[in-house]
Structure 1
Amino acid sequence: MALWFSGKNPGFASQSTTNQENFSDGNTEQHRVLHNYFDVKVRPFIDLIDSLRYHGIEKDLNLPAIAVIGDQSSGKSSVLEALSGVPLPRGSGIVTRCPLELKLRRAKIAGDWSAKISYDGNSEEISDPLEVEEYICKAQNDLAGDGVGICAELIRLEITSSEVSDLTLIDLPGIARVPVKGQPEDIGQQIKSLILKFISKNETINLVVVPCNVDIATTEALKMAQEVDPNGERTLAILTKPDLLDKGTEQNIVEIVQNKVIHLSKGYMIVKCRGQQQIIDKVTLAKATKDEIEFFKNHQHFRSLLREGKATVQCLAKKLTLELVDNIKKTVPSIAKQVKEQLNETTGELQRYEAGPPTDENEKLMYVVEELSDFTQKVIDLSQGNCGQRNLFPPLRSEFGKWEGILEEQLPCFVKEVEEVIQNYEDTFRGAELPGFINYSVFQTLVRNHVKKLEEPAKATMMSVRDIVYKEFINIAEECFERFPCLLFVAKDRIDNIKQRQETKVTERLENQFHMEYLVYTQDSIFWKTMKENRPGLLNHVKEAAQDLVMDATDLKTGNSDMLNKLSCYFQIGSQRLSDQVPMLIRFFILDEAARMLKKEMLSLLKECDINHLLREETETSLKRGELQNRMERLTMAQNQLNNFIK
């Protein structure tokens, strides 16, 4: 199909009727000059966007497009047939069941024709124009199923011909109101949602197809376009079927096309495509194009629209091409900016996912060694306090401080217990001995009872420290092996086994420690030194504790006070021993030894486990990395193309 120019166009004067007729035949020098103009000034813009769309950049940002919408039986398919030069699916009800991207490319050699259809990973060459309809129907059935359902997946049809204009359109399903047999009750809403997905984008020109023989103000297609484009800045309307008008209504149509009724910034066009009878009579598209020009030339009311360049499919093709190119020119700077921003964002996100494991077996071994070494080194650093912000020792010090506080809190209870035992002995069992001489076995019993009360708090301290330590071990494993669920599972299993073994070991050591405390022992020199250094202060401390227990410190007999002083002195020695020994036992077995055991067991995986199994990545991680890598390639390609184009 040849482009026919009329009206005002940059670089070209208005054409006379004679020139219009000659130009429509495609045989004039001016025809050749205008096509050359399009090749140089227009086609590069369309090729740029088509190339970006071909590489999938629409997954990342919106691209300029022309979306074709209309009510059912509005003549939408006829318009697209006239523009493309090939028959498209026709009929009543929903004919377009999937969005169809119709990419038209003008071949430089007369008579050349080729087509390719692609969808859902399938791609097929089409050698005969008459087969296009069949291929589209098959694609729709594959995507939306046999019947009358719809699907949002895009079908791409690329036609290269010497008889078409450089243009890309997206044909959308016709708007339905009432479901027919086999359609879901909400088919109308499904179609509207699909259409809105396309026409809501600010980069999209909305091409609304409306029959002349209906009230344009009531058409659903125009209403939808006005909802997303209330000022009509992105909307162009096409009036079809002018031959079906009732007599006397022609002037109303002229006023609509002249933008005097419902204003649209991009205006209106009017076309006359093949009717059903012409299709039955097998009137060719080329013949229909000539008949259309004759119709408008000879029409009493519409010939003025022809002179204004607002009538015929050829004028429509020219206007659509110029509108699309103008839209592309306006949006290229914004597209370039968005691509740059998203490329930077994708680069940063991809870095967080790192590269996947190598494919070479030797490299895999080295890779897993590095991964395990990194993990075990972090665990060792944690046990030694060399982990920077991940520092275990403040919370451990807090737990051990609580343990020390428990020991200090036991002094008043211990004093009270000793006083009660001494008083009971004085009142009940003391014989001829002088005051203050109590049997040593009583002394041992007092100490052992007191020590026994501390065993459970010590174990509770161990449990608290255990939870803190192994939680951090797990955190490190999750950070290091986040991408490898099998390796993470094995690491957690080893950590859990070590936790159980070390907990049992520490429990036994603590029980042994407290059993040793039952011996009531310290070096004589330590005992006398403590007595000498702390006698006055310790006795006062004991008296204060007695007062806290509402005891009368003045009633403490000298002998009894001496006994309290000795017992409290030993309490101090035993408490100091437990204050250090319990935390040391816990830290050594729960943290230090556990870290070394974990390092040894993790490195033993190299012999015990299949490396390929260990390095099996989490599906989501692998997919996300692949998605980011593909996005990176798309955006990089887009940036290069845009940079070259802008230059």
Structure 2
Amino acid sequence: MESSMYNNLRKLITVIDELRDIGLQKYINLPRICVVGTQSSGKSSVLESIVGIDFLPRGEGIVTRRPIEFRLIHIKEDNSDLKHWAVFEDDKSKKYTDFNEVRETINKLTDELAGINKGIIDDPIILNIYSTSCPDLSLIDLPGITRVPLKNSDQTDDIERLTREMAIRYVKDPRTIILAVLPANADMSTSDALQIARKVDPKGLRTIGVITKIDLMDRGVDASKMLMNDEITLRLGYTGVVNRSTADIKKGKSITESLKSELIFFQNHPIYKKLPPTLYGTASLTDKLTKVLLRHIKNILPDIKFEINEKIRLINEKLYELGTNVPLDANKKTQLLWSMITDYCEIFKNTLKGKYDKRLQVFIENNDILCGLKVRTIFNEFLDEYVGVNATSELTDYDIDDAICMHEGDSLPGFPSPDTFEFLILPHLKKIHGPVFNCLDKVSQTLEILSQKIATRILNRFPQLSEQVLELSQTILIREKENTRIILENFIEAETNYLFTNDASYLIEHGSIINSNDDESNDGTNQDYNSGTMHGRNKKMAPGLINSNHDIMSNSTNNITNINSSSGGGNMNNNSSNSNNMIQNKFYNNIMSEQEYITGKAAKFVSNAQKSVMNMWNSKDKKKTRYNAQFIQEIRRRLDCYFNIVLRNVRDSVPKMIGYFLIRKLQEKMQFELYSDLNSEQKLYELLNEPAHVVKEREILNKQLDILKKANHVLTKDPNITSINLDLFDANFEQDLMEFQKNLKNANKQMTSGHGHKQNLHNSAYVHSSTDTNTNLSTKRNQIQNRNVSPAVVNTTIIKQTSLTNQKMGSSNYMQHNHINGNKN
């Protein structure tokens, strides 16, 4: 199982290294392990112990002045004498087998950029190390946090801020595992490494603590609480290590010997020997790093693949927008010009029509795609404020009555003139003029803005061409706008100055002088017309006069009829002529007397009427109209109805005219006129001249696209790379962590009996916090033999010693719960 796990790890590490080799880290963050800590905290010594080779620079003060990225590649042992070598990324042609030379090269590369006077620079050195003793890991050693600049050095007074910011830049990426190195002989609460880790990883989900210098702690003091995650909690816990001292290095003590001494130290220590072996030793640290990185890479690879594909899509869209390189041939330049003008005009049309065009997604923003909807909205809102509003709402009955009287002139009253209607309706029709041309201006402005945005985006690679196309487009737009304005002016003049309609509703409701709703019956119509109409009207004016006149005329008519009847149709006898003359004289005398009576009555009626009129006009309390309310209301209804008819015609016709004579004509003429004006050899040379920044941008994008395609190829070479089965490993690892938290509680009760109550509360709080943070803990409880042994970490002797130790401890999980309790008894 261990062999299978490390084979899977090698596959994943190889993929990440290949992605780094092709330069993907410039565009996408890749999984890595960053080592942070204060100056002289032992970071470099920890790294050398993990690698198993002595190769890093040493000295007083700050030694690591450039980030160093180590790519560790474990190789299988064979009969070859070559067990390990190194290759710098900047010069892959040279293979370093002497690691003293590697140390010198690191110093040389550091001095070249950071200077020889202890300067610090953020430009990493990339070193590939192949060895039979190193694990498959990728680590970055960062300059230590420095509080005070060295005297007579290139370090500035803000050296602490610079080193902190550099560390934060590297570890803030969620895909980075933090290896926080802190010395055991210093207060954990003041550790710079933990402070930085807590800032970017507040839950401690991707931070591994490494406690160094445990062997240098004061007598009577130990780091057991630190190792058991009892003081400052980290999700991945802490591991204690013992590095070589300065004296050991001077004596020439090797890494292998140092690892043996480290194991002996922990196993013979009265406190540490009671702890699980996974909490101490470089072998345990390397094993933990390997497994954490394996799980980390496996979980992140799908996200990396998705991000690569997304960037490829975005770059392709940008390259499509920039277009290909400008051809040198004149015919191809002409084709390019025609293609770009065609794209410009088609996108302009499709945007207005709301037609789907994938090019719109590349060149045009979402708000601009709605340009057609904006034009439609302008048309829909045109004269919307007059809909449902009566035109005569501001006119009183007196205004209408005065207008009728004004236009009667000296003609017979009761027959309103058409001039009255025109006088009353024209002021309201004139209100339409402003909104009509305002609508034209709004649509024209929308088209102008759209052409500007399309020209700027589609033709941005050719600024001069974009400027010329935009200028010509504006010229065509202005010309068609003026033509449309003339058409609209004529249309509005006709609508407002010539009153006519064939509207059926108007003709039915208002086409006759008497409203059909007021007709009670058609019976006796001729009689009313011959005798009743004027009689009825005059009756209202002078009922007494009309009645008298009617009686007299009726009597006179009857008398005359009787005379004619008695005369036999006009054949009178001579004998009766005298009597007839007498009768006629008497009749005419009666008529004269009746006429005198009527004249007197009429004079009296006129006098009374004059008094009534004077009283009406002199009245201060109430003003009366000459025409009755029913007649005025009919005029009002006709005015409102006709205004609504004109309003409907204008709201329908004006958008059609603007849409056809402006928008449609602009679309039809734009492409031909642009191409005709710009298609000349001299203009082609001037207009199709790309600026340098466009050429540079295309070059950068093509290079980036090439890297992303290579990265995508790396991930697709092995389709199953992202589905490597780590369930068993993850379950055991998570289960061990959970068991570790549970057993720490029991262990602390026995080891700190004097402070049992307080300690128990602290551990209980921690266990609860840890359980909440890690809800995906597995329920599998499979035990793994020799869990702390990695074939890629230590030599055969160390492996044997570790195996024997595990056998004595029952080869259980991390916590070794039974063993701890047994030792305590």
1:255-310 per-residue CA deviation (whole Å, 9 max, x = no partner) reads 699869979856322121544993xxxx66xx65587589779x9x67847x99x9
Q: Which residue of 1 aligns with 2:81?
A: 110
One-letter amino acid matched to 1:322? D
Q: Are 1:237 and 2:210 an aligned pair? A: yes
- Give the 3-state SS of the residue equivalent to 2:143 in structure 1: coil
**Uncovered stretches (5+) of structure 1, i.e. residues with no partner:** 1-8, 12-36, 544-549
Q: Are 1:554 and 2:627 an aligned pair? A: yes
Counterpart contact for 1:143–1:151, Cα < 8 Å: yes
Counterpart contact for 1:67–1:171, Cα < 8 Å: yes
Q: Which residue of 1 aligns with 2:191?
A: 220
Cα distance in 1 for partners of 2:421, 2:512 equals 22
Q: 1:165 to 1:316 in 2, by over 3 A?
A: farther
One-letter amino acid matched to 2:663? L
Q: Which residue of 1 aligns with 2:323?
A: 357
- Give the 3-state SS of the residue equivalent to 2:669 in structure 1: helix
Q: Which residue of 2 aligns with 1:395?
A: 377
Q: Are 1:74 and 2:52 an aligned pair? A: no
- Give the 3-state SS of the residue equivalent to 1:50 in structure 2: helix
1:50-78 per-residue CA deviation (whole Å, 9 max, x = no partner) reads 33443455567765544333322234335
1:153-206 per-residue CA deviation (whole Å, 9 max, x = no partner) reads 432122446786765432111122334565455432443343345556776665
2:296 to 314, 320, 331: 331
Q: Which residue of 2 aligns with 1:465?
A: 443
Q: Which residue of 1 aligns with 2:802?
A: none
Q: 1:626 to 1:318 in 2, by over 3 A?
A: same
1:127-168 per-residue CA deviation (whole Å, 9 max, x = no partner) reads 674454454345445665775554444321224467867654
What is the TM-score with the length of structure 1 in the denominator? Answer: 0.65
Q: Which residue of 2 aligns with 1:188?
A: 160
Q: Are 1:54 and 2:34 an aligned pair? A: no
1:399-478 alignment runs, 5 A limit: 399-400=381-382, 402=384, 405=387, 409=391, 420-424=402-406, 430=409, 433-435=411-413, 454-470=432-448
- Give the 3-state SS of the residue equivalent to 2:477 in structure 1: helix
Q: Are 1:372 and 2:338 an aligned pair? A: no
User: How far did residue 641 of structure 1 move?
Assistant: 4.7
1:90-105 alignment runs, 5 A limit: 90-105=58-73
- Give the 3-state SS of the residue equivalent to 1:592 in structure 2: helix
Q: 1:80 to 1:331 in 2, by over 3 A?
A: closer
Q: Which residue of 2 aligns with 1:136?
A: 106
Counterpart contact for 1:485–1:617, Cα < 8 Å: no
Q: 1:67 to 1:571 in 2, by over 3 A?
A: closer
Counterpart contact for 2:53–2:255, Cα < 8 Å: no
1:504 to 482, 488, 493: 482
Counterpart contact for 1:45–1:328, Cα < 8 Å: no
Q: 1:138 to 1:367 in 2, by over 3 A?
A: farther
Q: Which residue of 1 aligns with 2:711?
A: 634
Counterpart contact for 2:407–2:419, Cα < 8 Å: no
One-letter amino acid matched to 1:376? C
Counterpart contact for 2:481–2:662, Cα < 8 Å: yes
One-letter amino acid matched to 2:437? K
One-letter amino acid matched to 1:589? F
Q: Which residue of 2 aligns with 1:272?
A: 244
Counterpart contact for 1:539–1:565, Cα < 8 Å: no
Q: Which residue of 2 aligns with 1:643?
A: 720
One-letter amino acid matched to 2:441? M
Cα distance in 2 for partners of 1:38, 1:175 equals 36
Q: Which residue of 1 aligns with 2:667?
A: 595
Counterpart contact for 1:67–1:172, Cα < 8 Å: yes
Counterpart contact for 2:382–2:435, Cα < 8 Å: no
Higher alpha-carbon deviation: 104-113 or 329-338: 104-113
- Give the 3-state SS of the residue equivalent to 2:127 in structure 1: strand
Q: Which residue of 1 aligns with 2:589?
A: none
User: How far did residue 402 of structure 1 move?
Assistant: 3.6
Q: 1:59 to 1:229 in 2, by over 3 A?
A: farther
- Give the 3-state SS of the residue equivalent to 1:554 in structure 2: coil
Counterpart contact for 1:379–1:473, Cα < 8 Å: yes
1:262-341 alignment runs, 5 A limit: 265=237, 267-275=239-247, 278=250, 288-289=254-255, 292=258, 304=268, 319=284, 321-341=286-306
User: How far did residue 334 of structure 1 move?
Assistant: 1.4
1:417-448 per-residue CA deviation (whole Å, 9 max, x = no partner) reads 7764553466xxx45x5448999999998887
Cα distance in 2 for partners of 1:231, 1:579 equals 68
Q: 1:276 to 1:241 in 2, by over 3 A?
A: farther
Cα distance in 2 for partners of 1:265, 1:446 equals 92
Q: Which residue of 2 aligns with 1:24?
A: none
Counterpart contact for 1:483–1:621, Cα < 8 Å: no
Higher alpha-carbon deviation: 367-376 or 615-624: 615-624
- Give the 3-state SS of the residue equivalent to 2:720 in structure 1: helix
User: How far did residue 344 of structure 1 move?
Assistant: 5.4
Counterpart contact for 1:380–1:596, Cα < 8 Å: no
What is the TM-score with the length of structure 2 in the denominator? Answer: 0.53
Q: Are 1:158 and 2:158 an aligned pair? A: no
Cα distance in 1 for partners of 2:512, 2:136 equals 102
1:172 to 136, 142, 148: 142
User: How far did residue 351 of structure 1 move?
Assistant: 6.5
One-letter amino acid matched to 1:235? I
**Uncovered stretches (5+) of structure 2, i.e. residues with no partner:** 358-369, 519-622, 726-825
Q: Which residue of 2 aligns with 1:4?
A: none
Higher alpha-carbon deviation: 629-638 or 526-535: 526-535
Cα distance in 2 for partners of 1:385, 1:260 equals 63
Cα distance in 1 for partners of 2:220, 2:34 equals 29
- Give the 3-state SS of the residue equivalent to 1:72 in structure 2: coil
- Give the 3-state SS of the residue equivalent to 1:169 in structure 2: strand
Larger radius of gyration: 2
Counterpart contact for 1:105–1:161, Cα < 8 Å: yes
Counterpart contact for 1:376–1:599, Cα < 8 Å: yes
